[in-house]
Amino acid sequence: MNGRLEGKAALVTGSGSGIGRATALLFAREGARVIVSDVNASGAEETVAAIQKKGGEARFIRCDVSKSAEVEALIRGAVETFGRLDCAVNNAGISGVMGPTGDYPEDAWDRVIATNLTGVWLCMKQEIQQMLKQGGGSIANTASVAGLVGFTMAPAYTAAKHGVVGLTKTAALEYAKANIRINAVCPGLVRTPMITDTTSKNPQIEQALIADEPVGRMADPEEIAEALVWLCSGASSFITGAALPVDGGVVAR
């Protein structure tokens, strides 16, 4: 344990798998007490068990981040459990269906925006209120390279992630003097269930995606987790309002 977050109380949404699980595990390894949150109870409980197996402290609180009442209960439960909330990673998200803008289904649009954008805002709203009470904190949002550049056939996902980047910058400016730092990471292609569920059915898709990566490979979830932990730690104390690409060079084109 390196202790970059020693004694901190942390929350990671969407931590039942993928980037969220890797982040919760790394937070715990760095000394944080972690609230693991997801709609997938079995996956989240596996994350909690993995943390506890290595001597860390974690608790699961189920939450659908698109529902205001559940988000309020989540933050209330986190504070009741650990007494405060020092770090929050708003990571919960869905990919949605693929399709061109002119034909995109309205119900699919609503689901993606509700989870990927409104969900981040609802979480930030409650987290900021708690951090104001206690005198500060750090928030890191999981956006995407799709929050920095356009991606065809993914209008809802791209719009939501652009929204997360804009929301991150706005809130960072609003609360900079309140000792609340707010940043975002923008991952590129990461080997998570969101990707592997698609590529496992068609290996050619995986090959095409990797071929489009300047570094010639996917990222591991742990590589994104490292950026999220750094943004929540004192090592990034003069950074707020940043949208950090962790993308193997995609947006450098």
Catalytic residues: 157
Query: By C-alpha distance, which of 52, 45, 57, 62 is closest to 82?
Result: 57
The number of beta carbons lying within 10 Å of the beta carbon of residue 197 is 10
Sheet strand arrangement including 9-13? 58-60, 33-37, 9-13, 87-90, 137-142, 180-187, 243-246
By C-alpha distance, which of 231, 199, 232 is closest to 218? Answer: 199
Tell me the β-bridge partners of 87. 10, 138
User: Residue 212 CB: number of other CB atoms within 10 A?
Assistant: 13
Q: Yes or no: say if 37 and 62 are a contact pair by the CB < 8 Å rule.
A: yes
Residues 162, 201: contact at Cβ < 8 Å?
no
